[in-house]
């Protein structure tokens, strides 16, 4: 009986674990992209300021 319960619980646990891992990866990727966009915007502003001078 214990073996049967473990067989039922293990795939569910792995599925939840991978789902959480996947969500964290997506969050980090989107955060990295947003940071890159902000940095590019700042670099463009700095370049424009340097051109004006």
Q: What is the pLDDT of residues 13-22, one digit of tens each?
A: 899 999 999 9
Backbone angles phi and psi of 17, in degrees to 5: -60, -50
Q: Within a 13 Å sphere around the CA of 49, how many CA atoms are in the beta-carbon half?
A: 6
Residues of the chain with pLDDT under 50: none
What's this model's pTM, rounded to 2 decimal places? 0.57
**Cα distance between the two ends of the chain:** 79
d(CA 53, CA 45): 13
């Amino acid at each position: 009986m214990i073996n049967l319960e473990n067989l039922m619980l293990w795939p569910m646990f792995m599925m939840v674990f991978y789902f959480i891992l996947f969500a964290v990866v997506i969050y980090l990727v989107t955060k990295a992209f947003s940071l890159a966009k902000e940095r590019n915007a700042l670099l463009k502003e700095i370049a424009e300021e340097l051109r004006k001078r």
